[in-house]
């Protein structure tokens, strides 16, 4: 095992350090977040730090970078109170990644990258038509993380749309078979292979 000290990490160039630290924390549940601005312009952005907050009631959260770096999604959520999450499949991962480009906020990433904004009754924010796991969340809280200007954005679940073949008897979603991807670092994407399932652990 090689020891990489915090000093060696601090001394890495910015790009290498970002890549290293983003990999260190492991595979992420990369997701496209759909929102709409007050002016009605649909926005789509790729996020990788999605967390399960609770199942009863259902809360799901994500980390938003500082507003200087990533303004549109959080601003739209603040003004409309609603957002969607949409899983990414291999077939459109290139377009999903391209949403990370900094387009002016009067342009829609949907149009720029070639993904389809899909609207559903009673939900203001757009879903990604190409995605086979789509869900909508209502803003519950935005918690600022004081150290570095990031935010934990938490939503309560409103509605889910999935390809029915994914749903298993025990509630589990077969995302490996669905081709939902996972990401690592800042630009690497992976498929998954199921290897093991274990029962509820008892001493």
Residues within window 40-99 making contact with its own copies, judged by CB under 8 A: 48-60, 63, 85, 87, 90, 93-94, 97-99
Provide the minimum distance between the beta carbon of 15 and its own copies in the complex, in angstroms, as a whole number: 7
Contact between 32 and 46 (Cβ < 8 Å): yes
Min dist CB 81 to its own copies, Å, is: 16
Those residues with Cβ within 8 angstroms of residue 159's Cβ, 6 or more apart along the chain or in another chain? 120, 123, 135, 136
Between 37 and 93, name the residue whose CB sits nearer to its own copies. Answer: 93
**Quick check: helix, strand or coil at residue 90?**
helix
Pairing of β 31-36 and β 82-87: antiparallel
Q: How far apart are CA 189 and CA 187, in angstroms?
A: 7
Positions 95 through 154 that interact with its own copies (CB under 8 A)? 97-103, 112, 132-135, 140-141, 143, 145-148, 150, 152, 154
Q: Which is nearer to its own copies, 78 or 165 (CB)?
A: 165
The answer to whether residue 184 forms part of the interface with its own copies (CB under 8 A) is yes
From 33-41, 71-79, 168-176, span contacting its own copies (CB under 8 A)? 168-176
Cα(85)–Cα(66) distance, integer angstroms? 20
Q: Least distance to its own copies from the beta carbon of 125, Å? A: 16
Residue number with CB closer to its own copies (38 or 160): 160
Neighbours of 46 (CB within 10 A): 20
CA 175 to chain centre: 15
């Amino acid at each position: 095992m090689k020891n990489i000290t915090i000093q060696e990490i601090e001394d890495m160039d910015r790009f290498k350090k970002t890549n290293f630290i983003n990999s260190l924390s492991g595979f992420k549940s990369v997701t496209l977040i759909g929102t709409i601005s007050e002016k009605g312009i649909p926005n789509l952005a790729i996020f990788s730090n999605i967390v399960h907050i609770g199942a009863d009631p259902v809360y799901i959260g994500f980390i938003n970078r500082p507003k200087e770096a990533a303004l549109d999604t959080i601003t739209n959520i603040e003004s409309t109170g609603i957002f969607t999450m949409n899983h990414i499949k291999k077939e459109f991962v290139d377009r999903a990644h391209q949403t990370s480009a900094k387009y002016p906020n009067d342009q829609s990433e949907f149009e720029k990258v070639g993904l389809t904004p899909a609207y559903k009754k009673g939900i203001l924010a757009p879903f990604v038509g190409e995605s086979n796991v789509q869900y909508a969340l209502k803003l519950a809280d935005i918690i600022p993380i004081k150290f570095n200007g990031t935010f934990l954005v938490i939503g309560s679940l409103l509605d889910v749309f999935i390809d029915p073949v994914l749903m298993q008897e025990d509630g589990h979603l077969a995302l490996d078979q669905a081709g939902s991807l996972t990401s690592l670092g800042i630009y690497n994407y992976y498929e998954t292979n199921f290897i093991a399932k274990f029962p509820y652990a008892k001493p």
